[in-house]
């Protein structure tokens, strides 16, 4: 499969579909900035869920492509989408500066203390751990990294999807069904990969056989 075709199909499914579903809703948006943040957040979250299908953890999904190519896309998309979603809370708070008589500090305190935000905070912390672990993965044995990365990713998929469905501005029935299907199939693929766990040489690194530097 050509890289351009693969990237187009991948982006269309995991980033394009949620953005189109959001565009089809009559949701009032006060600022162009706010609209862009919301749409890019939907796209970024979708791309992160799509990473489950790019991972060596479920090899059959990568059959048309070599592991090295698949994991290279997994790494690049993961870094880009992951880092964007890490600043997602900051971007959401920053829009408050555009609202007259709005105190950003008060909004931040309200954000981190609201019970509705608990799932989002947990998902954000999990994402921090996932990204940080990815940067230092070569300091771990392959099986150790694989296990920790898989557990953190599974938990992130659960809490982040719960967060998006619960308080997302565009979380109507159709959008919720899409996220449940995307997260559900991602988690199932992860579980199928771990039970049973394939025998893998302990000296292999996360990118596959290429030994490409991070």
Mean pLDDT over 23-43 rounds to 76
- Per-residue model confidence (pLDDT) at position 79: 81
- Per-residue model confidence (pLDDT) at position 55: 64
Report the sign of the C-alpha dihedral through residues 97, 100, 104, 108, in that order.
Answer: negative
Contact (Cβ atoms closer than 8 angstroms) between residue 50 and residue 70: no
pLDDT tops 70 at residue 80: yes
**How far, in Å, CA of 32 to CA of 25, rounded?**
16
36 vs 205, residue with greater confidence: 36
List, in sequence order, the alpha helices (H) in the chain: 3-11, 17-23, 32-50, 67-86, 88-94, 104-113, 118-135, 142-167, 173-194
- Per-residue model confidence (pLDDT) at position 74: 76
Give me the torsion for CA of 115, 119, 125, 129, rounded to 10°.
160
C-alpha neighbours within 13 Å on the C-beta side of residue 112: 10
Per-residue model confidence as pLDDT tens digits over 25-34: 766 555 677 7
Cα three-residue angle 88-94-97, rounded to 5 degrees:
165
Mean pLDDT over 117-144 rounds to 89
If you average pLDDT over every residue of the chain, what do you get?
76
126 vs 197, residue with greater confidence: 126
Q: Is the pTM of this model over 0.85?
A: no
Residues in the chain, how many? 214
- Band of pLDDT at residue 104, cut at 50, 70 and 90: low
């Amino acid at each position: 499969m050509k890289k351009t075709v693969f990237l187009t199909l991948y982006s269309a499914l995991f980033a394009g579909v949620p953005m189109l579903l959001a565009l089809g809703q009559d949701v009032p948006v006060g600022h162009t900035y706010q609209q862009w943040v919301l749409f890019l957040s939907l796209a970024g979250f979708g791309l992160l869920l799509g990473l489950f299908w790019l991972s060596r953890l479920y090899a059959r999904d990568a059959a048309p492509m070599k592991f090295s190519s698949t994991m290279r896309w997994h790494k690049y998309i993961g870094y880009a989408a992951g880092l964007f979603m890490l600043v997602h809370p900051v971007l959401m708070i920053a829009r408050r500066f555009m609202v007259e008589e709005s105190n950003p500090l008060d909004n931040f305190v309200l954000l981190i203390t609201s019970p509705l935000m608990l799932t989002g905070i947990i998902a954000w912390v999990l994402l921090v751990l996932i990204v940080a672990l990815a940067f230092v993965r070569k300091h771990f044995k392959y099986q150790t990294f694989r296990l920790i990365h898989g557990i953190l990713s599974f938990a992130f998929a659960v809490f982040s999807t719960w967060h998006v469905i619960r308080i997302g501005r565009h979380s109507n029935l159709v959008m919720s069904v899409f996220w449940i299907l995307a997260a559900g199939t991602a988690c199932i693929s992860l579980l199928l990969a771990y039970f049973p766990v394939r025998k893998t040489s302990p000296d292999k690194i996360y990118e596959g056989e290429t030994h490409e530097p991070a």
